Chains A and B, each alone.
Chain A
Amino acid sequence: MFGQPTSPRIRAALAGTLSAGLVFGLAACGGGGDDDSASTDASASAIDCAPYTKFGDLKGKTVTIYTGIVTPEDTPHIESYKPFENCTGASIKYEGDKSFETQILVRARAGNPPDLAIVPQPGLVKQLVATGKAVAAPADTAANVDKFWDKAWKTYTTIDGKFYGAPLGASVKSLVWYSPSEFKDAGYTVPTTLDELKALSDKMVADGKKPWCAGIGSGDATGWPVTDWMEDMVLRTSDPDTYDKWVNHSIPFNGPEATAALDAVGGYLKNDKYVNGGLGDVKSIATTTFQDGGLPILDGTCSLHRQASFYAANFPKGTKVAEDGDVFAFYLPGKDATTKPVLGAGEFVVAFADRPEVQAFQTYLSSDVWANTKAKLSSGWVSANKGLDPNNLTNPIDKLAGTILLDPKATFRFDGSDQMPAAVGSDAFWKQSTQWITGQDTATTLNNIEKAWPK
């Protein structure tokens, strides 16, 4: 899933950031004394600098940060640095670049890296560490991560025992989109277990509907939504530990666990009674773009669509995405109501310099103070930082995603295909998933992916 989910995220930002983000951000800040960061030219006196005194005086120092986050999603980022800049005197130089993912490697190898980089995949963090130019995160940052994040997060950037970067934003993939009004009219309830989800789907079939719609078309990345489906099902038909083993290839890709998971996906996506609402038969999933995959919910030809939180931005302008609106999402339930595996993704801050001001800023970005500041400024953004108050998130879907991430019973797991070697994660897994949709059987599909795993 290299690159692909970034663009929906950027689009998600397009939809929300400029309009809702700033407006909500400004409005939400009215009362607070310690978080008045929304106003661009807020003087230092307007901000409560107490949380920043520990960073010391950094007057005249500059920190460069390089990211793939570009206009307009960059605005809330830059705004969220203001309190730090105002209180410590440091200045942050932000550089957004659409070709970040290839350029950061070039820059690191050429010996010209930025001070900090916002890296969207654990795999890329590994590659950057392999260049020898990345430096381990300071103890203060590590302490923040221990305090504010589920321990799974720390492992994604811990390489050879050294911890390289704190998580920044996060996204939730274990979501099912639906129409609240359809649910109300037909008397459906949001399922809380996998069995209930199946029962709900069958009930919809009995009501004469094709409940599920899906689309996996995405240019040469066609197939990636199936990989998300399968990862979600490995987490549910097995358990998170098995998932880790499967992702790290300490159990084979085509073992019984994986077979059970892909067959479970097949129970939905390859079931011609269930799919493809408003779009055709099972095979039409392969040619429908992922952007179009969930749109039939709006015209009532489809009821359920599994896709990440960023899908909110794909609905046409004027669609109300809320629990009482046109569309909303519910958590893709676990095997039973007590287990709550969450599949998601996120980005990490990796440093290439260990000057005090760089470390101070790095620590600031890993703090609850920053997470809450950022939450008020943006729309279509969440973090798994436990210090984040979900009430600071500005729109309903962010709030839902935030609540799922921060649920103490939830077990978070990072998108597996992002962590697998490129030959699998961004080639064979996609290609074979597409073949699987167009008719190839589960065993052949998994065997082919296993064969593609670099020895």
Chain B
Amino acid sequence: MFNTASTTPEKILQMLSALLLFAAVMGIILFIAGRFGGKKGDRVVAYLYLLPVLLLLTVGLVYPGLRTIYQSFFDAAGDAFIGFDNYGTIFSDPDQLTVLRNTVFWVVLTPFVATAIGLVYAILIDKSRFESFAKTLIFLPMSISFVAAGVIWKFMYEYRPDQGNVKQIGLINQLIVWFGGKPVQLLIESPLNSFLLIVVMIWIQAGFAMTILSAAIKAIPDDIIEAARLDGVNAWTMFRRITLPSVQPTVVVVLTTIGIGTLKVFDIVRTMTGGNFNTSVVANEFYRQTFNADNQGLGAALATLLFVLVIPIVWYNIRSLRQSEAS
């Protein structure tokens, strides 16, 4: 029954049994937890509640993680131990170096530009008459999936030749044509194409940055602002000396959160170029090597690299999050 469910009733039955199993496990834990009382009992209960989480994390995250790291030292078929060769490939093969270069572009540009746009926007619309409407506008892209965003922007960049009665169907090229230019194959020209993909990510993430930062700005105590006003500061000094230092921990959290998301970006690249024309990034290359090229070892090495790159940002993110909560 757990092997193949080909018909709909079978699938529903399978789903129901999974739900029942879940309920049963929870019931047993709650039942055992209920037998403990008092101060000491609280601890036991806490551990009991942690147990399923720990178990699932071990099975679903820790074990596959360790297994991936282990696999990254093996060849394409996963048979022969080859040491650090896969990592050597990542840092020497010209294709892989392009992948690394693009990943650097993404990680450097996306968080800073998205956060900057979000911050400026949040300050500009703060306490204005159209604040909620303006916020909705920039927040909307957040609610669109990466794949959908990729498809939308693919149309934006679409190219039609400057030939007879062929009409442009992409907005960007139509604008170029209106201003007297010739249509450009935007998604082919490297490295321009990578930046054009980054624009999509910024478009999605700026709303997130704006929302969080706007909340942080509103949390700045009025008396500080008042005091600064009495001192007669101009707008720039206000931003530089009051607003920015006050929201600085939040800015770091926003930067790192977007940074983590950007490192793992896959959907946009896969939807818009499939990683062709020198636009691949680590996450996309990991998928391509593992599933298209059937090179498990290199795929695992790329996944491990991604993991290693994310760790410091996650660590910094958590630290700043704690700091901003403490303050």
The interface of chain A, by Cβ under 8 A from chain B, is 2, 95, 97, 107, 110, 112, 218-223, 276, 278-281, 283-284, 286-287, 301, 421-423, 426-428, 431, 434, 438, 452, 454
Most buried by A among B159, B161, B276: B276
- Given contacts A110-B3, A278-B163, is CB(A427)–CB(B274) below 8 Å? no
**Are A283 and B160 interface neighbours, CB within 8 A?**
no
B6 within 8 A of A: yes
Bound complex: CA of A135 vs CA of B95, how far in Å?
41
Expressed in whole angstroms, the minimum distance between the Cβ of B166 and any Cβ of chain A is: 7
**Are B185 and A220 interface neighbours, CB within 8 A?**
no
A-B residue pairs in contact (CB < 8 Å), sample of 17: A97-B6, A110-B3, A112-B3, A218-B274, A219-B270, A220-B274, A222-B276, A223-B276, A279-B161, A280-B159, A281-B161, A287-B188, A301-B164, A423-B76, A427-B292, A438-B188, A454-B76
- Given contacts A219-B274, A222-B276, is CB(A287)–CB(B294) below 8 Å? no
B4 within 8 A of A: yes
Bound complex: CA of A341 vs CA of B292, how far in Å?
29
**Are A286 and B6 interface neighbours, CB within 8 A?**
no
- The A-contacting residues of B in range 263-292, CB under 8 angstroms, are 270, 274-277, 288-289, 292
Expressed in whole angstroms, the minimum distance between the Cβ of A359 and any Cβ of chain B is: 24
Bound complex: CA of A279 vs CA of B289, how far in Å?
31
B300 within 8 A of A: no
CB contacts (< 8 Å) of B185 on chain A: these are: 280, 283-284, 287
**Are B274 and A423 interface neighbours, CB within 8 A?**
no
**Are A421 and B276 interface neighbours, CB within 8 A?**
no
Which residue of A has the minimal Cβ distance to B186? A287
**Are A286 and B188 interface neighbours, CB within 8 A?**
yes
**Are A286 and B76 interface neighbours, CB within 8 A?**
no
Which residue of B has the minimal Cβ distance to A276? B161
Between A and B, how many residue pairs show CB distances below 8 Å?
72
Q: How many residues of B contact A (CB 8 A)?
A: 25
- Given contacts A112-B4, A220-B292, A287-B185, is CB(A434)–CB(B159) below 8 Å? no
B253 within 8 A of A: no
CB contacts (< 8 Å) of B246 on chain A: these are: none
B213 within 8 A of A: no
Binary contact readout B5-18 vs A (1 if CB under 8 angstroms, 0 otherwise): 01000000000000
Q: Which of A220, A422, A423 contacts B275 (CB 8 A)?
A: A220
Bound complex: CA of A283 vs CA of B188, how far in Å?
8
**Are B166 and A301 interface neighbours, CB within 8 A?**
yes
Q: Which of B3, B4, B270, B276 contacts A286 (CB 8 A)?
A: B276
B295 within 8 A of A: yes
B238 within 8 A of A: no
B187 within 8 A of A: yes
B293 within 8 A of A: yes
- Given contacts A222-B276, A422-B293, A427-B288, is CB(A287)–CB(B160) below 8 Å? no
- Given contacts A280-B159, A284-B185, is CB(A426)–CB(B4) below 8 Å? no
Which residue of B has the minimal Cβ distance to A438? B188
CB contacts (< 8 Å) of B161 on chain A: these are: 276, 278-281, 284
**Are A421 and B294 interface neighbours, CB within 8 A?**
yes
- The A-contacting residues of B in range 138-193, CB under 8 angstroms, are 159-161, 163-164, 166, 185, 187-188
**Are A423 and B295 interface neighbours, CB within 8 A?**
yes
Most buried by B among A287, A426, A434, A454: A287
Which residue of A has the minimal Cβ distance to B269? A220
Interface of chain A, main secondary structure: loop
**Are A428 and B159 interface neighbours, CB within 8 A?**
no
Bound complex: CA of A283 vs CA of B166, how far in Å?
17
**Are A287 and B3 interface neighbours, CB within 8 A?**
no
Bound complex: CA of A399 vs CA of B37, how far in Å?
81
Most buried by B among A218, A280, A428, A452: A280
Given A280-B159, A286-B188, 16 new contacts (CB under 8 A): A2-B292, A220-B270, A222-B276, A276-B161, A278-B166, A280-B163, A286-B276, A287-B159, A301-B163, A422-B292, A423-B293, A423-B294, A427-B292, A427-B293, A434-B276, A452-B293
**Are B160 and A280 interface neighbours, CB within 8 A?**
yes
Expressed in whole angstroms, the minimum distance between the Cβ of B300 and any Cβ of chain A is: 15
Which residue of B has the minimal Cβ distance to A210? B163
Expressed in whole angstroms, the minimum distance between the Cβ of A320 and any Cβ of chain B is: 24
Q: Which of B164, B188, B276, B295 contacts A431 (CB 8 A)?
A: B276
**Are A438 and B277 interface neighbours, CB within 8 A?**
yes
Q: Which of A286, A421, A428 contacts B277 (CB 8 A)?
A: A286
Bound complex: CA of A423 vs CA of B270, how far in Å?
18
**Are A222 and B274 interface neighbours, CB within 8 A?**
yes
Bound complex: CA of A161 vs CA of B108, how far in Å?
57
Expressed in whole angstroms, the minimum distance between the Cβ of A346 and any Cβ of chain B is: 22
Most buried by B among A95, A427, A452: A427
CB contacts (< 8 Å) of A421 on chain B: these are: 294
Bound complex: CA of A279 vs CA of B270, how far in Å?
23
CB contacts (< 8 Å) of B295 on chain A: these are: 423
Bound complex: CA of A427 vs CA of B280, how far in Å?
13
CB contacts (< 8 Å) of A454 on chain B: these are: 76
Most buried by A among B161, B187, B288, B289: B161
Expressed in whole angstroms, the minimum distance between the Cβ of A444 and any Cβ of chain B is: 11
CB contacts (< 8 Å) of B276 on chain A: these are: 222-223, 286, 431, 434
CB contacts (< 8 Å) of B76 on chain A: these are: 423, 454
Bound complex: CA of A301 vs CA of B188, how far in Å?
23
**Are B188 and A426 interface neighbours, CB within 8 A?**
no
Bound complex: CA of A217 vs CA of B292, how far in Å?
16
CB contacts (< 8 Å) of A220 on chain B: these are: 270, 274-275, 288, 292
Expressed in whole angstroms, the minimum distance between the Cβ of B56 and any Cβ of chain A is: 23
Which residue of A has the minimal Cβ distance to B6? A95
Bound complex: CA of A301 vs CA of B289, how far in Å?
39
Bound complex: CA of A222 vs CA of B269, how far in Å?
13
Most buried by A among B95, B163, B275: B163
Q: Which of A221, A279, A287 contacts B187 (CB 8 A)?
A: A287
